[in-house]
Chains A and B, each alone.
Chain A
Amino acid sequence: MNTNSNVYTIVYTTVVCVLVAAILAFVSQSLKPMQVANEKAETISQILAAAQFEEQADNNAILNFYKQNISEAILVNADGKKVGSLNTADAQVYSTADLKAQNYNIKDGSACSLPVYIFKNGISVIPVYGAGLWGPVWGYVALDGLNIVGAYFDHSGETPGLGGKIKDDPKFRAQFDGKKLDFSDTHPFDIVKGGAPAGKANAIDAISGATMTSKGLNEAINVWALAYRNYLKNQED
């Protein structure tokens, strides 16, 4: 058979492409439920990590722990009014895709419904979402009133060892502990390149070698903190 004829080449290439597409579609579809469950468990484990709960062993343990310790998960708008709630018995949470959609709403000023995860020990966890250097960065900030008690961040493609430290460096995350959001300041929170001024309660050090990631995370925290401003203020009063 002449494997160099035009017809053979076109038919062969088409068949291979269709076959590979079919294999990939089949594998993707059959693994989808597991992947979705993994993603949800990961989101919940990040919320728990921000609130300083101990790490859970596997997906089931994460879901059970969350269901036992969550008091309520409400949705608020930019005015601080409650506009809905998430089903805690089902461990319903906002995925990063949901956060991305809300990020657009916040930025163009349209109606948003932002989640607040309130735990039985009184800690509330709010998400933040923004752009890092190579892709989105997001995370969760655990608050007691306006005091920050913990934080956890993640990213989709920051450079490991540099921007990736927002997730991997426990020292970076530990800086948030004991800080607070200060809405009387121009920025409620600051990640300062070159080091935060000593004694400033709403600022931490940026990561050296990761200026753009630090800036992006700083913006994410500030944009989202301002969106929650009215809600947090109402809670204070």
Chain B
Amino acid sequence: MGKFKETVLNPILKGNPITVLILGICSSLAVTVELKGALVMALSVTVVTGVSSLICSLIRKTIPNRARIIIQLVVVAMMVILVDQFLKGFAYAIDKQLSVYIGLIITNCIVMGRIEAFALGNKPLPSLLDGLANGLGYGLILVIVAFFRELFGSGTLFGIPVLSAIGYTNNGLMILPPMALILLGCIVWVHRSIDKDLQEK
């Protein structure tokens, strides 16, 4: 049971894909202007990473080694298109909200990274958990960054005026991508000063 706990908790804390593995930086800069978008993106990535890891783990013994990246890509792309198609059919409003994000999931390094590093060498259940947990670890950072960017950039949270209601002047830099990178750097800094194991000697 201890192993399962580690599989789930490690990607969220000590092995966080963004702050420790420095994966998925690109999309975390792009989709963190608003909390709502960040949350839905986090959820979609969690689903795609989880299910793709599960499928790849199920067929891991049959995949020809030389073509494995292509096979992984096909599986991930299929999952992303399926998510998009189902959202378009059953939750059109949410799909509209996500617009470009859905397609961006394919390019998210975390998805392929976890399949390559974990799912191809482990049983289906741990792979599913590992995928889901990595998605959550990614989502956690996304939400933290989006919280600060929306609060100080637009003065709102989930579109509800918070700081702008008390006369705060929006900081335009916060909604531009460079500020996301700076914020991300700060989070990595805080994470590493709390967890001394992560510091390089």
A contact residues vs B (CB 8 Å cutoff): 3-4, 8-9, 12-13, 16-17, 20, 23-24, 27-28, 31, 34-35, 38-39, 42, 134, 156-157, 159-162, 208-209
Contact = CB atoms under 8 A, between A and B. Distances in A.
B154 A157 contact: no
B82 A27 contact: yes
B117 interface: no
B186 interface: no
A222 to B, nearest CB: 25
A162 B153 CA distance: 11
B65 A4 contact: yes
Interface string B63-101: 111110011001101100110011011101000100110
B65 A3 contact: yes
A24 B78 contact: yes
B80 to A, nearest CB: 11
Nearest to A157: B100
What's the dominant secondary structure at chain A's contact region? helix
B110 interface: no
A39 B92 CA distance: 8
B119 to A, nearest CB: 16
What's the dominant secondary structure at chain B's contact region? helix
Nearest to A17: B74
B133 to A, nearest CB: 26
B33 interface: yes
A156 B97 CA distance: 10
13 contacts: A3-B63, A3-B64, A17-B74, A20-B74, A23-B78, A24-B78, A35-B85, A35-B89, A156-B99, A157-B100, A160-B99, A208-B172, A209-B172
Number of chain B interface residues as a range: 20 to 34
A161 B149 CA distance: 11
Given A16-B71, A24-B82, A161 B154 contact: yes
A13 B70 contact: yes
B88 A35 contact: yes
A38 B89 contact: yes
Nearest to B177: A159
Given A12-B71, A24-B78, 17 more contacts: A3-B65, A4-B66, A9-B67, A12-B64, A12-B67, A13-B71, A16-B74, A17-B74, A20-B77, A24-B81, A27-B82, A27-B86, A31-B88, A35-B85, A35-B89, A161-B34, A209-B175
B89 A161 contact: no
A34 B33 contact: no
A31 B37 contact: no
Contact of A28 (B37, B71, B85): B85
A31 B64 contact: no
